[in-house]
Amino acid sequence: MNAPLPPEVLKQHLIDPEICIRCNTCEETCPIDAITHDGTNYVVDPAICNGCMACVPPCPTGSIDNWRLVLKTEAYSVEEQFGWDELPGEKALPDTVSANSASDAEEIVSVVSNGGEDADSASAPTPVFSPSGATIPPWSAAHPYVNLYGHKTPAVATVVGNYRVTDEDTDSDIHHIVLDFGNVPFPVLEGQSIGILPPGTDAQGRPHHARQYSLASPRDGERAGYNNLSLTVKRVTEDHQGQPARGVCSNYLCDLARNDTVQVIGPFGNTFLMPNHAHANLMMICTGTGSAPMRAMTERYRRRIARGTNGRLMLFFGARTQRELPYFGPLMKLPRDFIDINLALSRDAAQPRRYVQDLIRERAADVLTLLQDPNTCIYVCGLKGMETGVLDALRDVVVQSGEDWTILHDVLRREGRLHFETY
Ligand SMILES: Cc1cc2nc3c(=O)[nH]c(=O)nc-3n(C[C@H](O)[C@H](O)[C@H](O)COP(=O)(O)OP(=O)(O)OC[C@H]3O[C@@H](n4cnc5c(N)ncnc54)[C@H](O)[C@@H]3O)c2cc1C
Ligand code: SF4
Ligand code: SF4
């Protein structure tokens, strides 16, 4: 059993700014809002964090799992952490902290910093579920490799394809980009993402941090049997408030030419993974580039149609117009008995505005059948704002049938069957 920390000592929770990919997962997960960020770093407020560990498992990079023993009066402030380029080293505790207490405290840090693996059962972290989705993968998911390549040792990939997948005359410039890893091992699974290190420095002269992109290709490659993968990247030309802004990494990626090389870190993600068992159903709900993981999973299923082991595929896909829907052409060529496609167009002159949640409600009977099947996994990816609308629609479908949504929602999370990736 670990002794309590000396009263004057704090086990301070810190985020490694060199590894963090600024994905916001930890800030969304923390139940007491101890994590915050500025334009540069994600940081933990020592005055709020209670060390509950809820944020540690979902962090895709492990950058969240850093702890330092400090005197409470010398805890690193939020403002100090915003200015960091790298984590500070360990500081020796002053002699005034009793020798025994200090060594107990150091033991506690080592237990916490390995994710609690060495802790006894009484102190092991309990699984924590985010308010909306699961933080564990489906039971039959393949085991993913994560964090094989970091900032200091990125993998180098070569661009072997880069073309636009939305109509030229639309504002939405989305590219399909194929990266080849040659002989460099880069094993991935559908639902995972990679980090791209854009060249150059930010306004403070620091190297740009990595941006995360979901895989759009299945585990055996964009071209089956090749060591390559694809991404679906939207060129950011305005910020979230609609003001003109040139996104650093998305513009870099969309402008790449064949044979250019890019620095890649990752892979990331160990929960938004597809089931592997026979007859598993996929319900996929996405908007825009959120279609990337859905393309990867659908292609995995398409390549094994002949086996006859596929379950049902149901897709809800939202965009402003058909011409802004990435991969519209190839998607519509898929056989109707292979995938049930539901397109929600919000700016189509010929139709009233419809969003994915409207179509989920319209297809209530089929959605309910899938939700009640324990072989169904549900994936939601795309705009941050869609999460609430989709959850409300799923809840309505269940409640209208006389079932209890709270119970089903809890089952879906506990069984790793409901996953969100919104950004
Ligand atoms: C898990 C995860 C998966 C992701 N997968 C994909 C993917 O498959 N395809 C994809 O294109 N992107 C994806 N993203 C988003 C991607 O990581 C970048 O955030 C995005 O490309 C913008 O980066 P940037 O460097 O171009 O813009 P920045 O230089 O970082 O930002 C420029 C300005 O634009 C704003 N901004 C940032 N992102 C957007 C946006 N999407 N729309 C509008 N304004 C924005 C910023 O607030 C800032 O004001 C994913 C993000 C996460 C966390
Ligand atoms: S350990 Fe708990 S309280 Fe601290 S930042 Fe993580 S989730 Fe929040
Ligand atoms: S990489 Fe980890 S620490 Fe950084 S923002 Fe994402 S979850 Fe938080």
Q: Which two tokens stand for residue 69?
A: 């023993």
Q: What is the CATH number of the domain that holds 252?
A: 2.40.30.10
The answer, yes or no, to whether any atom of ligand 2 lies below 6 A from the CB of 49, is yes
The answer, yes or no, to whether any atom of ligand 3 lies below 6 A from the CB of 43, is no
From the CA of 239, the nearest ligand is 1
Q: Tell me the β-bridge partners of 213.
A: 194
Q: Answer yes or no: is 60 within a domain.
A: yes
Q: Where are the beta strands (DSSP E) in 252-392?
A: 261-268, 281-287, 313-319, 340-345, 376-382
According to the model, what pLDDT value does residue 131 have? 58
The answer, yes or no, to whether any atom of ligand 3 lies below 6 A from the CB of 22, is yes
Answer for the pair 41, 84: CB distance below 8 angstroms, yes or no.
yes
Q: Are residues 309 and 398 in the same domain?
A: yes
Instruction: Give the angle subtended at the CA of 400 by the CAs of 397 and 405, to the nearest 5°.
Output: 65
What DSSP string runs through 181-195?
A: -TTS-----TT-EEE
The protein residue with its alpha carbon nearest to ligand 2, atom 3, reads 49
Q: Are residues 338 and 409 in the same domain?
A: yes
Rounded to an integer, what distance in angstroms lies between the CA atom of residue 21 and that of residue 265? 10
pLDDT, mean of each 10-residue run, the chain (423 residues): 72 93 89 93 96 86 92 96 93 70 47 37 39 89 94 95 94 96 98 96 87 97 97 95 95 98 95 97 97 97 96 97 92 95 93 95 98 98 92 98 97 96 89
The answer, yes or no, to whether any atom of ligand 2 lies below 6 A from the CB of 32, is yes
According to the model, what pLDDT value does residue 56 have? 86
Rounded to an integer, what distance in angstroms lies between the CA atom of residue 238 and that of residue 246? 7
CA distances from 285 to 293, 392, 396 (A): 10, 13, 16
Amino acid in the structure at residue 209? H
Q: Are residues 288 and 255 in the same domain?
A: no
Q: Is 347 annotated as a binding residue?
A: yes
Q: Answer yes or no: is 337 within a domain.
A: yes
Please tell me the distance between residue 19's alpha carbon and the centre of ligand 1 in angstroms. Answer: 18
Final residue before a domain boundary, out of 268, 295, 326: 268
Q: Are residues 259 and 290 in the same domain?
A: no
Q: Are residues 257 and 302 in the same domain?
A: no
The answer, yes or no, to whether any atom of ligand 2 lies below 6 A from the CB of 411, is no
Q: Answer yes or no: is 111 within a domain.
A: no
According to the model, what pLDDT value does residue 110 have? 41
Q: Are residues 258 and 285 in the same domain?
A: no
Please tell me the distance between residue 43's alpha carbon and the centre of ligand 3 in angstroms. Answer: 9
Rounded to an integer, what distance in angstroms lies between the CA atom of residue 165 and that of residue 182? 25
From the CA of 11, the nearest ligand is 2
Rounded to an integer, what distance in angstroms lies between the CA atom of residue 422 and that of residue 37? 18
Q: What is the CATH number of the domain that holds 303?
A: 3.40.50.80
Quote the DSSP letter at residue 305. G
Q: Which residue in this structure is represented by tokens 């992109």?
A: 213
Q: Are residues 415 and 302 in the same domain?
A: yes
Q: Answer yes or no: is 204 within a domain.
A: yes
The answer, yes or no, to whether any atom of ligand 2 lies below 6 A from the CB of 78, is no
Look at residues 250, 135, 129, 146 and name the one whose alpha carbon lies nearest to residue 192: 146
According to the model, what pLDDT value does residue 118 have? 35
Range of the domain at 71: 9-83
What DSSP string runs through 325-379?
A: STTHHHHHTS-TTT-EEEEEESS-TTS----HHHHHHHTHHHHHHHHHSTTEEEE
Q: Tell me the β-bridge partners of 262.
A: 157
Final residue before a domain boundary, out of 83, 100, 127: 83
Q: Answer yes or no: is 316 within a domain.
A: yes
Look at residues 125, 142, 120 and name the one whose alpha carbon lies nearest to residue 51: 125
Helices vs. strands in the chain: H and E counts, helices first = 10, 15
Query: First-to-last CA distance in the chain?
Result: 41
Q: Which residue in this structure is represented by tokens 């039971």?
A: 139
Q: Answer yes or no: is 20 within a domain.
A: yes
Q: Are residues 325 and 370 in the same domain?
A: yes
The number of folded domains in the chain is 3
CA-42 nearest atom, ligand 3: 5
Q: Is 132 annotated as a binding residue?
A: no
According to the model, what pLDDT value does residue 1 have? 40
Look at residues 264, 232, 266 and name the one whose alpha carbon lies nearest to residue 157: 264
Q: Answer yes or no: is 239 within a domain.
A: yes
Q: Are residues 289 and 364 in the same domain?
A: yes
CA distances from 373 to 132, 199, 311, 312, 413 (A): 19, 47, 11, 11, 14
Q: Are residues 258 and 335 in the same domain?
A: no
Rounded to an integer, what distance in angstroms lies between the CA atom of residue 410 and that of residue 18? 36
Q: Answer yes or no: is 110 within a domain.
A: no
Number of residues that make up the chain: 423
The answer, yes or no, to whether any atom of ligand 1 lies below 6 A from the CB of 422, is no
Q: Are residues 334 and 407 in the same domain?
A: yes
The answer, yes or no, to whether any atom of ligand 3 lies below 6 A from the CB of 376, is no
CA distances from 259 to 48, 180, 248 (A): 48, 10, 20
Please tell me the distance between residue 250's alpha carbon and the centre of ligand 3 in angstroms. Answer: 20
Q: Are residues 250 and 336 in the same domain?
A: no
Instruction: Give the angle subtended at the CA of 238 by the CAs of 19 and 330, to the nearest 5°.
Output: 85
pLDDT in tens, 177-201: 999 999 999 999 999 999 999 999 9
Please state the pTM of the whole predicted model: 0.85
- Cis bond upstream, residue 267 (ω within 30): yes
From the CA of 54, the nearest ligand is 2
Q: What is the CATH number of the domain that holds 45?
A: 3.30.70.20
Rounded to an integer, what distance in angstroms lies between the CA atom of residue 206 and that of residue 202? 5
Distance from CA of residue 205 to its chain's centroid? 28
The answer, yes or no, to whether any atom of ligand 3 lies below 6 A from the CB of 15, is yes
Final residue before a domain boundary, out of 62, 83, 104: 83
Rounded to an integer, what distance in angstroms lies between the CA atom of residue 208 and that of residue 246? 14
Look at residues 128, 122, 123 and name the one whose alpha carbon lies nearest to residue 110: 123
Please tell me the distance between residue 319's alpha carbon and the centre of ligand 2 in angstroms. Answer: 36
Q: Which two tokens stand for residue 96?
A: 């005034």
According to the model, what pLDDT value does residue 19 have? 86
CA-231 nearest atom, ligand 1: 8
From the CA of 130, the nearest ligand is 2
Which residue of 12, 37, 50 sits with most ligand 2 atoms within 8 Å of its CB, as the best mutation to test the pocket?
50
